[in-house]
């Protein structure tokens, strides 16, 4: 029996941090005004810019504010959380304090009578071999246990180094996507096909790549639909593309809800 709900909003990649106050405010408004209109909210990872342990949240007024907003929302709707590549250390303590339910990545869910496979999306970027090696190490429970024993300032410093290294990698990958060559950091058709085949499904929803779009795809006789969620950023107008959106699924089908115009 798979998890079922009649209507849902799905979001990911908000990368919440105190340095992005407008984005954070839109999330708080989302919790107050948009989210209570559906039965369930699915957060498909990277809600936070980074997460180095639940104990850090107790020391951060910003993370406490997010915790409060989620706890309040969870009294009105079900909230499901799936780890991203930046917040895979969100743990039992934070989940219990916010009332969120952790889902495995991938998870198959029935929303409004139709089945979807949900994942963060980083596991689908199989052409990014350096990242996949990195991922396989940091997802090992014993590596995480050791990391969580480090002093908080060491953990923050490691996370910041990883973030700045990641920024350089990303710029390189964007260059390689020019001239029609698919970016190394995008998902591969083979990985999408495999995750859907394993789940006996033909509808996939993920975030991570920050390339929001509805795709119809096929590979070797297998075809499917794929919806990519948008990241959120209302704090860098110079980028020319302020963005905040959610995927809405209800009896009317699947649609992108623009949370800037809303």
Residues near Mn ion (CB under 5 A): 46, 84-85, 208
Q: How far is the CB of 101 from ligand LP5 (least distance, A)?
A: 22
Distances (CA, A) of 71 to 65, 74, 99, 120, 149: 10, 5, 6, 22, 27
Q: How far is the CB of 50 from Mn ion (least distance, A)?
A: 11
Report if residue 206 touches ligand LP5, rule: CB under 6 A: no
Q: Which residue in 34, 105, 122, 233 binds ligand LP5 (CB under 6 A)? A: 122
Please count the other Cβ atoms lying within 10 Å of the Cβ belonging to residue 195.
Answer: 21
Stretch that binds ligand LP5, among 69-77, 108-116, 123-131, 247-255 (CB under 6 A): 123-131
Closest by alpha carbon to 102, among 93, 111, 115? 93
Q: Which residue in 163, 172, 175, 213 binds ligand LP5 (CB under 6 A)? A: 163
The site for ligand LP5, by CB under 6 A, has a size of: 23
Task: Say which DSSP state 32 is in.
Answer: I
Contact assessment for residue 256 and residue 247, using Cβ atoms and an 8 Å cutoff? yes
Query: Whole-angstrom Cα distance, residue 63 to residue 92?
Result: 15
Q: Measured at the alpha carbon of residue 114, what is the angle toward residues 72 and 84, in degrees to the nearest 5?
A: 50
CA 181 from chain centre, in angstroms, equals 25
Report if residue 174 touches ligand LP5, rule: CB under 6 A: no
Contact assessment for residue 56 and residue 18, using Cβ atoms and an 8 Å cutoff? no
Report if residue 74 touches ligand LP5, rule: CB under 6 A: no
Q: How far is the CB of 166 from Mn ion (least distance, A)?
A: 10
Report if residue 152 touches ligand LP5, rule: CB under 6 A: no
Helix (H/G/I), strand (E/B), else coil: 92: helix
Task: Tell me whether residue 183 or residue 246 sits nearer to ligand LP5 (CB atom).
Answer: 183
Residue window 88-117: x/- pattern of binding to ligand LP5, with contact defined by CB under 6 A: -x----------------------------
End-to-end CA gap in the chain: 35
Peptide bond into 177 cis (omega under 30): no
Q: Which residue in 112, 162, 191, 211 binds ligand LP5 (CB under 6 A)? A: 162
Instruction: Supply the DSSP string of 84-114, one letter for each residue.
Output: -SSSTT--HHHHHHHT-EE--SSEEEEETTE
163 binds, among ligand LP5, Mn ion, none (CB under 5 to 8 A by kind): ligand LP5
Residue ranges binding ligand LP5 (CB under 6 A): 50, 52, 85-86, 89, 122, 125, 128, 130-131, 134, 138, 143-144, 147, 158-159, 162-163, 165-166, 169, 185
């Amino acid at each position: 029996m798979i998890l079922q709900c009649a209507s849902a909003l799905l979001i990911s990649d908000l990368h919440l941090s105190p340095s992005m106050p407008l984005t954070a405010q839109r999330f708080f408004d989302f919790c107050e005004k948009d989210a209570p209109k559906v039965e369930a909210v699915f957060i498909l990872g990277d809600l936070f810019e980074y997460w180095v342990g639940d104990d850090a949240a107790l020391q951060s007024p910003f993370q406490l504010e997010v915790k409060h907003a989620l706890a309040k929302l969870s009294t009105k709707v079900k909230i499901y959380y799936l780890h991203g590549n930046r917040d895979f250390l969100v743990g039992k303590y934070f989940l219990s304090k916010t009332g969120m339910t952790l889902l495995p990545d991938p998870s198959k869910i029935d929303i409004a009578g139709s089945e979807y496979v949900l994942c963060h999306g980083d596991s689908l970027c199989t052409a990014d071999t350096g990242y996949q090696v990195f991922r396989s190490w940091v997802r090992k429970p014993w590596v995480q246990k050791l990391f969580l024993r480090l002093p908080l300032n060491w953990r923050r410093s490691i996370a910041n180094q990883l973030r700045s290294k990641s920024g350089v990698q990303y710029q390189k990958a964007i260059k390689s996507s020019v001239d029609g060559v698919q970016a190394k950091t995008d998902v591969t058709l083979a990985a999408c096909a495999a995750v859907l085949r394993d789940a006996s499904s033909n509808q996939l929803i993920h975030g991570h790549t920050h390339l929001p779009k509805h795709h119809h795809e096929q590979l070797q006789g297998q075809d499917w639909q794929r919806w990519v969620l948008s990241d959120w950023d209302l704090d860098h107008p110079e980028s020319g593309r302020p963005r905040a959106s959610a995927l809405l699924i209800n009896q009317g089908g699947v649609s992108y809800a623009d949370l800037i115009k809303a």
